[in-house]
């Protein structure tokens, strides 16, 4: 009889360990996707390339960190962006308003107004939108992709640095079977973008401060500024 309590205690200990492991697995299953989403956005330029295609999954490569300015407003942010992107120097149009399904809450620290958005590029039903933001006193922007008339493809937000807008532009990559949708935010003066594949290239016109391309096995994009200097963005993330 004395062995029964010991056996009961052992079974209880085993059950508790199994429960703890299940809880840890559940915590990881919930937390890992959130952590990965943050890493993909913050470190997109340094992540290894992947050929995995997941519908609606997007990454955005941010620019360098901007300087915080006390009291900066969305009007200030829009004026700063207008110095680089002419799309903000014209009045907003009905076509600039993103579909409602794109209007998902951003991070709590980011201030934005959707009526300030501009559509910078289209590709069939697909479209790319940019919107000024203020984040902790820093001027920034968000880049969003629409993969068809009703479905958002994803996007991200980051600080705005005019000194790198041409050489290291914000760009996105949406995995959408069977191809990948790319979008690049480009400053004034860029008229066309060359898409590089292995052994061949294709040159296409830009939209309003933006460029979209859908395809596979893209290696990089190149473009020239108004002075003829060439810049590039590698397509691998």
Share of the chain above pLDDT 70, in %: 66
pLDDT(210) > 80: yes
- The pLDDT score that the predictor gives to residue 147 is 78
Grade residue 168 by pLDDT with cuts at 50, 70 and 90.
Answer: very high
Distance CA 173, CA 51 (A): 12
Chain segment 33-77, per-residue pLDDT in tens: 222 222 222 223 322 223 333 334 444 444 444 555 568 999 999
Please name the helix (run of DSSP H) or strand (run of DSSP E) that holds residue 8, with its range, or none: helix 3-42
Q: Greater confidence, 64 or 78?
A: 78
Please name the helix (run of DSSP H) or strand (run of DSSP E) that holds residue 82, with its range, or none: helix 74-82
Please give the torsion angle defined by the CA atoms of residues 79, 83, 86 and 91, in that order, rounded to the nearest 10 degrees. Answer: 20
Chain segment 107-160, per-residue pLDDT in tens: 678 899 999 999 999 999 899 999 999 998 999 999 988 877 667 777 888 899
- Domain ranges across the chain: 1-42, 43-234
Residue 221's nearest CA partner among 230, 234, 211 is 234
Owner of token pair 């993330």: 237
- The pLDDT score that the predictor gives to residue 64 is 46
- The pLDDT score that the predictor gives to residue 40 is 27
Close Cβ partners of 123 (under 8 Å, ≥ 6 residues apart) = 181, 212, 213, 214
**Mean of the per-residue pLDDT values of the chain:** 75
- The pLDDT score that the predictor gives to residue 94 is 93
* Integer CA distances (angstroms), 230 to 25, 46, 84, 168, 190, in order: 49, 22, 18, 12, 10
- The pLDDT score that the predictor gives to residue 14 is 54
Residue 131's nearest CA partner among 120, 139, 143 is 143
DSSP 3-state assignment of 226?
coil
């Amino acid at each position: 009889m004395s062995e029964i309590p010991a056996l009961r205690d052992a079974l209880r200990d085993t059950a508790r360990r199994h429960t703890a492991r299940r809880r840890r697995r559940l915590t990881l299953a919930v937390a890992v996707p959130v952590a990965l989403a943050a890493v993909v956005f913050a470190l997109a330029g340094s992540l290894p390339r992947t050929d995995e295609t997941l519908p609606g999954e997007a990454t955005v490569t941010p620019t360098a960190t901007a300087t915080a300015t006390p009291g900066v407003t969305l009007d200030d942010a829009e004026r700063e962006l207008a110095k680089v992107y002419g799309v903000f120097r014209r009045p907003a149009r009905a076509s600039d308003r993103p579909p409602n399904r794109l209007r998902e809450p951003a991070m709590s620290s980011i201030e934005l107004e959707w009526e300030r958005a501009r559509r910078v590029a289209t590709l069939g039903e697909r479209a790319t939108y940019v919107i000024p933001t203020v984040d902790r006193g820093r001027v920034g922007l968000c880049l969003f992709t629409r993969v068809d008339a009703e479905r958002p493809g994803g996007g991200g937000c980051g600080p705005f640095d005019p000194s790198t807008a041409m050489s290291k532009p914000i760009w996105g990559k949406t995995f959408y079977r069977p191809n990948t949708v790319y979008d690049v935010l480009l400053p004034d003066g860029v008229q066309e973008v060359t898409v590089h594949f292995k052994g061949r290239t294709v040159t296409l016109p830009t939209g309003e401060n933006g460029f979209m391309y859908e395809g596979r096995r893209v290696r990089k994009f190149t473009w020239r500024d108004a002075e003829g200097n060439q810049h590039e963005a590698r397509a691998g993330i």
